Amino acid sequence: MKKMHFRSDFSHRALPALIAAAFLIALSACAGHNIHKDLTADPQVLVRRWTLQTHGPFEAGDKGYEYSNPVVTENTVIFGNQSTGLISLYPGMLQTRWVLPIKGGVISELAQEKTEVYFGGGDGFLYSVSVETGRVNWRYDLKNPLISKPTVSGGRVFITTSDDTVYAFDAATGKWLWHYRRRTSPTATILGASSPLVDGAEVITGMTDGFLVSLSVNDGQLKWERKIHQGTKFTDVDAHPVLDNSILYIPSYDGALYALKRANGEVIWRYDVGGSKQVVADETRLFVPSSNGTIYSLQKNNSKVLWQFEMDHGVPTQLVVTDRYVMVGSSSQYLYVLDKETGKGLYRFNVGEGSGFSGSPAFDSVHQRLYMLSSAGNLYSFQLSSPPKKIRPHGVTSPYAATSGF
């Protein structure tokens, strides 16, 4: 087994990162209660397979926040961290496949498209890297940290930067195609930016001034805009818009969740709970990770609350929703598994107070495995347990076990 020891060579952070770090620390410090003290890491629900420490030695003032997400591709897991760069490993053997060192590490979530992965580096570049070899295909100097997840569609890469600029690049070559710059000056902002949604001839994304905008795919010209935040504090619209049956669902950070008409952004309904993560939609419901630390299940057509689950403290990561479960990490301390139908807490795993999760989880639906990178730089692998065998008449059993092994 090849052990991973990484050297940290990045001691400074951009101002937005400091704002966000202070904000998350404040959230953790002001909560601190233990609502679900009887909730355990039930092995009948989820089993931890391994934990891999990937962060190098912590430097003074380094809070260790990691915003990258793992991505699962064939028999490997690829992820980034701030102390090293981009890493590919074989999770079955816990063996490193390749490492791409990057000054300042990886500070955005990863977007994979076929044989390439796209992300923002702490050095201010947008990267395209080969999944197979870890070789850089191209990079583009944004001269500004990219902290949002890129969107790849139709042979193009679309990104939204922290200064409210939307870019389009050729995915194969990195050639600049166009950009749209919004002249805004919010009084306060959280760390993050919306990941664009591409639908037909339009690119739809959120802005820090509380607006949702639709741009032309071809040239970035503004098609329509809609203000979806009515307050003045943390006006950010950082979530990825979700499109379902010609309706857009998107929250502002500390405002509300909106259902909007896709054609022009007209408001259909709003529910007064904000967030920075995208919602998950199924046939009739929405699953919402809110900035107040509560997970909601809402009726899709009228926002009626079906259930809600309050985390012990912290703010939630992006959700993983399966046929039975809702899985979510807290920015402060815990990983939770909830019953999808009732919202009942089924599982709680403690990764250490103040060490929770900031990046999104990755779920391998084929092998029923969950991967999460903690803020302390620990990569966790969990296995969903098989449901109990159903006993049929005359003693015939019908197991539905998760596939195991790569």
The alpha carbon of residue 240 and the mean position of all alpha carbons in its chain are separated, in whole angstroms, by 9
- Report the alpha-carbon distance of residue 117 to residue 103 in Å, rounded: 18
Residues 378-389: b if buried by 16+ CB within 10 A, e if exposed: bbbbbbbbeeee
What pLDDT is attached to residue 54?
Answer: 84
Going by C-alpha positions, the residue among 135, 189, 126 that lies closest to residue 156 is 126
* Segment 316-345, tens digit of pLDDT: 999 999 999 999 999 989 999 999 999 999
Token pair, residue 184, equals 């805004």
Query: Alpha-carbon Rg of the chain, whole angstroms?
Result: 21
- What residue ranges of the chain have pLDDT lower than 50? 1-31, 60-61, 389-406
* DSSP class of 292: T
Going by C-alpha positions, the residue among 118, 121, 90, 88 that lies closest to residue 104 is 121
CB-based contact 374:380 (threshold 8 Å): yes
Going by C-alpha positions, the residue among 257, 323, 256 that lies closest to residue 286 is 257
CB-based contact 83:10 (threshold 8 Å): yes
- Report the alpha-carbon distance of residue 304 to residue 306 in Å, rounded: 6
- pTM for the whole thing? 0.85
What pLDDT is attached to residue 191?
Answer: 62
- Report the alpha-carbon distance of residue 207 to residue 256 in Å, rounded: 15
- Report the alpha-carbon distance of residue 219 to residue 246 in Å, rounded: 23
What pLDDT is attached to residue 59?
Answer: 57
201: number of CA atoms within 13 Å, CB side?
Answer: 8
